[in-house]
Amino acid sequence: MRAMQVTELGKPLALVDLPQPTAGSGQVVVKVHTCGLNFGDLLIVKGSYQEKPQLPFTLGMELCGTITEVGEGVEGFAPGQRIAAYCGFGALAEFAAIPANICVPIPDQMTDEHAAAFLIAYGTSHVALDYKAHLKPGERLLVLGASGGIGLTAVELGKLMGAEVIAVARGAEKLAVAKAAGADHLLDSDTDDIRERVKALGGADVVYDPIGGEQFKAALRACNPEARLIPLGFASGEVPQIPANHLLVKNLSVIGFYWGGYTRVNPKVLTDSFEVLTRWYVEGRIHPHVSNVLPLEEANAALDLLRTRQATGKVVVRID
């Protein structure tokens, strides 16, 4: 089978031929249709992600595919069934052997492209806003990086949950994408003073931040008393150092959150969230935004779209 592998950290992926995997105990083999790319994939390639697979390894955190083989002890899944899965790595290949307990059935109405763009982006935003931050109708939600893979879903879900959404992104084109997802207010990170603009709008009750750096600092100073801040990543390259005195004065809460960690700590949080999100998708209440679909052999170009911030929403690699 063909696969795109990391053979050396910091270098482009290599297209290689590998033996087709077989299902071990508790595993299924999946014919991969699509792989959703994430900012975390860029970090894995550099060796700076919290999970560090041994070289060489096949990249790709999430997939959509059809089960072709079921291993010993697997119940509830059968060959021919379409599933999505968060596998951490291994999705940029024609086949993948993965644990059955990380697979989720997907509805017939969901396309392969949407399924590959669904788990991490929507799952991250829904668990962050609902389970962690307890976002309430009428609260003001500030979303940094609002046109990106997870930021755009935070805009969409925040609006669906009844919040007043302030979207921050770079440039008119990306802000237009955030507006189409439901943003009430648009701030250009290149030209607007985030702190002053947010304060003028009434301040933030919840901050959703995959960016870090100076934008986090500005958002922190624009928070209302008892606001909740959720740092989800540091796309700016700068991990902010949070001054505890600011938290005390306004009774602020900074909430640590890593969606993938719940696969080990409390997977029911994720399965409950996915059930809600799937229902909303079938009802037509959420609409995944996939800006680019590229073939397997162009996976390096697909990663470049993320690296250079050219993409909006999700970038998907089509395997078959």
* CATH number for position 311: 3.90.180.10
Residue 32 φ/ψ, nearest 5 degrees: -80, 130
**Residue 309 has what pLDDT?**
87
Residues 108 and 11 in one domain: yes
**pLDDT tens across 246-302, in order?**
899 999 999 999 888 888 888 889 889 999 999 999 999 999 999 999 999 999 999
Residues 19 and 81 in one domain: yes
Q: How confident is the model at residue 56 (pLDDT cuts 50, 70, 90)?
A: very high
Residues 133 and 253 in one domain: yes
**Residue 138 has what pLDDT?**
97
Distance CA 284, CA 298 (A): 31
**Residue 228 has what pLDDT?**
98
Q: What is the mean pLDDT of the chain?
A: 94
75 falls within a domain: yes
**pLDDT tens across 101-157, in order?**
889 999 999 999 999 999 899 999 999 999 999 999 999 999 999 998 899 999 999
**Residue 210 has what pLDDT?**
94
Nearest one of 120, 189, 122 to 158, comparing CA atoms: 122
**Residue 50 has what pLDDT?**
77
Distance CA 285, CA 308 (A): 30
Residue entry with tokens 């970090």: 43
165: domain range?
Answer: 122-258
- Which residues touch 264 (CB under 8 Å, ≥6 apart)? none
Distances (CA, A) of 156 to 57, 151, 272: 34, 9, 19
173 vs 236 pLDDT, higher one: 173
Is the per-residue pLDDT at 208 higher than 90?
yes
Residues 61 and 113 in one domain: yes
**The tokens of 76 are what?**
């509830």
Q: Which of 258, 278, 303 is the last residue of a domain?
A: 258
Average pLDDT over residues 173-187: 96
Distances (CA, A) of 151 to 23, 43, 195, 300: 36, 18, 19, 23
Radius of gyration of the CA atoms of the chain, in A: 20
**The tokens of 137 are what?**
């109708």
% of residues, the chain, pLDDT over 90: 83
Please report the DSSP string for 79-114 in residue order: TT-EEEEE-SS--SBSEEEEEGGGEEE--TTS-HHH
Is the per-residue pLDDT at 308 higher than 80?
yes
**C-alpha 197: how far from chain center:** 27
Sign of the CA dihedral running 145, 146, 147, 152: positive
Distances (CA, A) of 54 to 95, 100, 157, 274: 19, 22, 36, 30
Residues 186 and 298 in one domain: no
Residue 139 φ/ψ, nearest 5 degrees: -75, 160
Query: What predicted TM-score, i.e. pTM, was given to this entire model?
Result: 0.89
Residues 107 and 134 in one domain: no
Tell whether omega for the bond before 56 is within 30 degrees of 0, i.e. cis: yes
**Residue 59 has what pLDDT?**
97
**Residue 320 has what pLDDT?**
81
* Structural domains counted in the chain: 2
Lowest-pLDDT range, 65-69, 160-164, 261-265, 270-274?
Answer: 261-265
Residues 244 and 314 in one domain: no
102 falls within a domain: yes
279 falls within a domain: no
**Residue 220 has what pLDDT?**
96
